[in-house]
Structure 1
């Protein structure tokens, strides 16, 4: 019974630490700082020991964090603890110095209560600011995939020798894309290292996180926890055994977005037997780290003129669509064994979907119009840029946020027009409580402000996108039976166009 009670207590402590988005060392530092601030107001009999123990705990934790790297969220905690030192541990230090000097210990002098009270309050506010900041900007914890497969991942770089790079003036420069693959893998050893989130290495993740923050005019240090995260996949894991061939899902991120921005979604699909190929679009994605170490920054800046920006968006969408089609061609070569690859013979490129968030959704729609190899489309809150013909003639799932005062009034009419005349059934789902960033990993590490990331919760948004997408792809690419409309309707208002516009 004691062991069970101890395990239950340990579980509660772990939940508290996870809820505050603190590591165990950070949690101990906060706890020590709290005791240090409160020591001035404890009974005299326990005050010295409590102050000394708390000061030692904070000092030890600060040393450990100094070696591992101190998150900015911990700086106010350490500052609050340091500011509390004159109020709490000074009597202990005085007694110790007295013993060292061979003098009798004096009765410790304490600050007057009317002086100590505001000082303690200020220190407490500093200490409290740390957990609040850690909760607002946490190290993201990606949900564990629910499918029967373990997940592997790796990164490839491909250059299209037939297509010039239009973002540079060099006539010999050819379009290059960086692609991250997530695929069903063999179950590895329990201690297998999980893949770095947001990049192949911690340094790449730092570069990408800083670029993403800069793209929305935030200081890079605010998201310094993101490069510390690990995903659920294992980098370079062996492909799952057997001869099964898996459907392919191409993914294009939002404007300025990166290939890893929907990692949780990609890992969930891969755990259910899909191969996901997510693209970095150089000169469009915030930062793309090439194989040779060069960093390609975004050059897609808006002008502020609506008509001019729409023309630019059409051009960028066309480039992205061409990138998607090129990657599909490369994957077909891999599948046929034309290039040596662990996925040779395991890709079913006869069952392909294109997906994307925001501008990536527009690129997925355009790629499908242009390429008959793409059999289904998932548009995650993407405004359809570019031509609306020919008709799509394939199933489409469009997930959108609720229309509000800040929504472009052209958005939903344009989306309906884009799907008009489709000879396959299309689904438009307006998700309750969603914001534009609800359809990516953003809710896992951005402040939970409804106008920014929606009100579905950190994992709720991610699970919603995965559940709806998986149900749609299973029906569209695998012909799986099931109540697709029932699954989708559980998340919001569903509109269905059946083979040509019948709602």
Structure 2
């Protein structure tokens, strides 16, 4: 499995090899640098040939990388090679000129060689820790298409601005079952419609967690598994709809692997950017709206703020369902007209988005099911949930907010429909988004399931629930969910 870096349409030399987290060009540069350092320790007859070959490979690959774009992870490799280059090449040049070759004593050369190799080794280590994400191949029977739409609610003013004529606008990305694209078709840019939008969003996400943008530049270089504007699948039938709200400061693309997996199994996923809440939202007129939701530092005040922001998100979700329903009726005519089964709609979200999904399900009875991906419930606990709910949670540890589980349990216990809480062993809070694909594999940050397994488990559990409650032939979620974690079933009427 290979992954093409953005803008690199000139062959596989610019694609990332999974596991190694480096492209063939980068690997060539790495091998050339290592060979250049080690040439000094080879038998005298082999040194000139190895030095010349290693230098040629290194220079050529570095020049090509300069054209397609050098990642910061490769800079230590080039620095180590640059330090070793004169010590490796000068003896060869002197010998060819008929002059006596000079080499440093071994006890002087050894520390320098070790230092160069150590510097070079930090390159692949950094590439592994902060990779260009390689998205898993969806396992369903459909290819996946994607597109982005922008909708304005004529009935809601924008509460984050003082302009009374500013109406609430949301940006929505759709993933849907599509016709199979020809081999070699360019895949969708991750994090944005263009490379520039992807960089804008990536930099904003990095600033949100206090990191320099260059450190996590991998996502801005990545491409997912879907194809922009791919033709909708022509097999007939209508697709259930799944709406998604990201976490606080999160963006519509943060669960792309999850969305593509659902779409490959016959769902249409609509993920929202919430302007002034999401880290960065690039609007159709090229304006970029950044987040204005910040902590006050006071827990009680923060809870009130979170409840207000959750209410705005819940209204956004209901508005998008209304627009999808209109789209299905042909208002306006659209490739998805007649293909959206909004009567079988689920509302989902991660973190604060999960709280918004719970609120939306309480308030809007058009939603037939709700999935909360490790979201702490904010806002009022009434009315009671009257739709099947699934709450996926990380492993509960002493470090977990002690209010989280009781608050979530209360919400599920007082529902009038059967609900499910699934605790996934080894999961962290960021396991429930794309984070494990491109963040350092630190268990306290992304859990311990690994880059490959994390998206599979979360999507698999979500599909097991949605297939049971939304498909034409209902099933029992309790029969499939235990395969993914520790299940607790909350039956209606059994709790005070």
Q: TM-score range by the shorter chain?
A: over 0.9
Closer/same/farther in 2, CA of residues 451 and 115 from structure 1, 3 Å limit: same
Contact kept, 8 Å, 1:87 with 1:116, in 2: the verdict is: no
Instruction: Tell me how far apart the structure 2 counterparts of residues 208 and 89 of structure 1 sit (CA, whole Å).
Output: 44
User: Match for residue 285 of structure 2?
Assistant: 292
Q: How many Å apart are 1:421 and its aligned residue?
A: 2.4
Residue from 350, 353, 372 that aligns with 2:343: 350
- What residue is the counterpart of 1:235 in the other structure? 228
Instruction: Say whether 1:457 aligns with 2:450.
Output: yes
2:29 maps to 29
Q: Is the 8 A contact 2:413 2:492 kept in 1?
A: no
> 1:107, CA displacement in angstroms?
2.7
The answer to whether the Cα contact below 8 Å between 1:392 and 1:419 also exists between their aligned partners in 2 is yes
Q: What residue in structure 1 maps to residue 310 of structure 2?
A: 317
Alignment map for 1:258-269 (pairs within 5 Å): 258-269=251-262
Distance 1:164 1:15, change over 3 A: closer
CA contact (8 A) 2:457 2:484 kept: yes
Among candidates 473, 477, 484, match of residue 477 of structure 2: 484
Aligned to 1:120: 113
1:113 CA drift (Å): 1.2
Taking a change above 3 Å as real, the CA distance of residues 373 and 481 of structure 1, as seen in their structure-2 partners, is: closer
How far residue 482 of structure 1 moved from its aligned partner, in angstroms, is 5.4
TM-aligned CA distance change 1:500 to 1:40, over 3 Å:
farther
- Measure, in 2, the Cα distance between the counterparts of 1:318 and 1:483: 31
**Cα distance, 1:342–1:479 mapped onto 2, change above 3 Å:** closer
CA contact (8 A) 1:136 1:446 kept: yes
Equivalent in the alignment of 1:380: 373
- 1:492 deviates by 2.1
- Quick one: which of 412, 415, 421 aligns to 1:422? 415
Q: How many angstroms apart in 1 are the aligned matches of 2:473 and 2:255?
A: 24
SS in 2 for 1:469: helix
Q: How do 1:51-450 residues align onto structure 2 when only pairs under 5 Å count?
A: 51-96=51-96, 98=97, 105-450=98-443
Cα distance between partner residues in 2 of 1:33 and 1:349: 57
Secondary structure of 2:45's match?
A: coil
Q: Indicate conservation of the 8 Å contact 1:391/1:420, yes or no.
A: no
- Contact kept in structure 2, 1:32 and 1:55, CA below 8 Å: yes
Q: CA RMSD in A?
A: 1.7
Whether the 8 Å CA contact 2:361–2:385 is kept in 1: the answer is: yes
| Number of residue-to-residue matches in the alignment | 484
Distance in structure 1 (CA, Å) of the matches to 2:472 and 2:395: 30
Once the two structures are TM-superposed, the CA of residue 479 in structure 1 deviates from its matched residue by 5.0
Question: Aligned equivalents of 2:81 and 2:309: distance in 1?
Answer: 51
The answer to whether the 8 Å contact 2:94/2:100 transfers is: no
Moved more, 225-234 or 319-328: 225-234
* Displacement of 1:402: 1.3
Show the counterpart of 1:9. Answer: none
Q: Secondary structure at the match of 2:18?
A: helix
CA deviation digits over 1:284-343, x for unaligned, max 9?
000000011110000000011100100000000000000000000000100111212110
How far apart in 2 are the matches of 1:28 and 1:51? 15
Where do 5+ consecutive residues of structure 1 fail to align? 1-13, 99-104
Matched position secondary structure for 1:128: helix
Conserved 8 A contact 1:17-1:27: no
- Mapped partners of 2:193, 2:493: distance in 1: 44
SS at match of 2:86: coil
Name structure 2 gaps, 5 residues minimum.
1-13
User: What's the offset of the Cα at 1:17?
Assistant: 4.5
**Cα-to-partner distance string for 1:134-155 (whole Å, 9 max, x where unaligned):** 0000000000111111110000
TM superposition shift of 1:480: 4.1
